[in-house]
Structure 1
């Protein structure tokens, strides 16, 4: 049975403590927008997976109660930065498996100001779920007093530079592109435009990554209504986008055995998930028009180019500076501004990617519109580890 996204919604992503709202207020706004977009009522929803990382258990129920008190199953989902895509994947599985005809996938986060620590929900690096990942980094690169997640991706960037000759200007080109794209996104946390020189001149977080190459902490929520073909036909729904292929990959021995931070931050996971998603969709990267990928740090966009098959290993820096990943190029990557500029409320990120791609494939993305977009790809990854790749196709 096929699964379709029938409606999407999201809040604006904002700096924590900017707005006086609670996480259930965010869900009311994003979930209500998704239901309205699908033109259905909440009492037609049969199950609800809800993703978040920083709120207590059953916060999903508290949030969903703002949409209705209908007694349906609500699942609380936490998979670090891949949480939003994981909620979407559960919704798809429920529909494809015949357990439900209409599922609402939700994701939200109400965060604190400042950098993330050693892993969502963990203030103790030794007890962190990603302690093994940090151990690989420390063995090769040491451990500094800068934000640990930034250190991990900075180490991957240095390895990429050493192995392939990737330059700081190529890393900065990723961030400059995404900041430029976000200028046209009213939901983005940041809408200022910077050139490569401005990106490189920003305060250093951990070499070679400056602040403008790092995703911020953010508040926000996003949602998607996932329906079966029979539900869509019964309700005469339009504007559907098919979930043509989707896969999740988690860590294997390769993650840790090589001693490389490129592996530790998940490039092998992304490659494996992409391969499976392509196979299930019967499509390849050559068929994709628009991509929303997990640029938590500029280097991760380069690593993901290679993992998705957009270029050969080591060629991603050249791809970024060639213009192939922006308007007028081969693909448009992160038209929303990506995590770096749109923002990164962990539980909402994967579903916000879905919302952007649905708008693109419907031709509803206004000044961000990718002309003629018919196939989109979302990539959402969390350390610890999970990578979800979703191929979406216009109906």
Structure 2
């Protein structure tokens, strides 16, 4: 398919971020910083914004539950309409989808989408209280299944199916650490070696501490505008948001998603399409593009092994081939299909409502040619991939 497609889309007029770290401040402060940076980048006055969509942060009290209103108030009431989104790690993309839909419907011209988070120390845990209808609460309290435990299950699956090794997983961390060295918004800006990863503590076998992302404070914001507004304000050849996919899994399944042991000589069976593949396919179809058009990808590397899964889910290679791409250097900046030139979660850590927006920020800088020190030369099409919990996920396609 051609990267030069027509059809629905909105202009990405501006992006901005608050650097990731452990700052110990209110998520509102981070969000305002990112929003003002995006407004400045876009050259858009706050008074022109007619829609504010906030990424919800359930850990941060009532202000987090009504994030759209919280950010609008902190920036100064200007009469804008508001909305608030929550979809776990895919929150930012769902918020973008809300803003984009209103622009395409002619109900908005200038939308500010902002997500920010202040996270606790250690791995993310469910909020206090008993919630027997909450699958996250159940897996933590009844199974003791923390996030690293199921990251490890995915990693073990790659080992069993495709021959992945702990050294392969470590090499993902090495690659992303190099990418993040020149990213001013990254929390961790230090090279590591494979030996460093393998020498770090085992958290959930086969994953080591340096295979797993941290939790962080941070924020990201995106300004979306209508085509008419872009033309009136001289926005020439902007980055365009061509697709936002937030599809859910399809049930009932006729084939199990995980291979099962069997006496059948054919072994386990694979589904026709996994949930994450469905996310990517919906994004490609909406954008009128295919994986062969993609120049750069930002994927949700909660663990090093999960990055390898995403490469295949996005169709950037066949099943079981991600390790080969990694070993050949194809997924590094300068390679055939760079993945996570920002440094990914390996260098940022999780700031949940901001993460999908941060991916869009990075791709916008890449497609503009502004990603100094980590630029993917000639990038014209980028895709993001993100998975929340309990059926939340997203993929966003940007073009130039």
With normalisation by structure 2, the TM-score equals: 0.88
Q: Larger radius of gyration, structure 1 or 2?
A: 2
| Runs of 4+ off more than 6 Å | 254-257
Q: 1:129 aligns with which of 131, 135, 148?
A: 135
| RMSD, aligned CA | 2.3
- Indicate conservation of the 8 Å contact 1:47/1:102, yes or no: yes
The yes-or-no answer on 1:65 pairing with 2:73 is: yes
User: CA shift at 1:305, angstroms?
Assistant: 0.9
- Indicate conservation of the 8 Å contact 1:156/1:261, yes or no: no
C-alpha distance in 1 between matches for 2:81 and 2:259: 39
C-alpha distance in 2 between matches for 1:221 and 1:256: 41
Corresponding residue number in structure 2 for 1:160: 158
C-alpha distance in 1 between matches for 2:79 and 2:160: 56
Q: 2:283 aligns with which of 273, 277, 285?
A: 277
User: CA shift at 1:261, angstroms?
Assistant: 9.4
C-alpha distance in 2 between matches for 1:193 and 1:326: 14
Corresponding residue number in structure 2 for 1:249: 247
- Within 5 Å, give how 1:285-296 maps onto structure 2: 285-296=291-302
Quickly say closer, same or farther: Cα 1:126–1:169, change in 2 above 3 A.
Answer: farther
Quickly say closer, same or farther: Cα 1:112–1:123, change in 2 above 3 A.
Answer: farther
Q: Deviations over 1:323-361 (max 9, x none)?
A: 110022111111111012122200000111111111111
Q: 2:168 aligns with which of 141, 146, 170?
A: 170
Q: 1:100 aligns with which of 108, 111, 136?
A: 108
Quickly say closer, same or farther: Cα 1:243–1:203, change in 2 above 3 A.
Answer: same
Q: Deviations over 1:96-117 (max 9, x none)?
A: 1222111111111111111112
Corresponding residue number in structure 1 for 2:82: 74
Corresponding residue number in structure 2 for 1:32: 36
Q: Deviations over 1:50-75 (max 9, x none)?
A: 11332232243223322220232221
- Indicate conservation of the 8 Å contact 1:43/1:68, yes or no: no
C-alpha distance in 1 between matches for 2:38 and 2:136: 33
- Within 5 Å, give how 1:1-395 maps onto structure 2: 1-15=8-22, 19-53=23-57, 54-55=59-60, 56=62, 57-117=65-125, 119=126, 121=127, 127-130=133-136, 134=139, 143=143, 148-238=146-236, 240-253=238-251, 258=256, 260=258, 268-394=274-400
User: CA shift at 1:252, angstroms?
Assistant: 3.0
User: CA shift at 1:13, angstroms?
Assistant: 0.4
User: CA shift at 1:123, angstroms?
Assistant: 6.2
SS at match of 1:258: coil
C-alpha distance in 2 between matches for 1:256 and 1:207: 31
SS at match of 2:75: coil
User: CA shift at 1:301, angstroms?
Assistant: 0.6
5+ residue gaps, structure 1, are none
SS at match of 1:8: strand
With normalisation by structure 1, the TM-score equals: 0.89
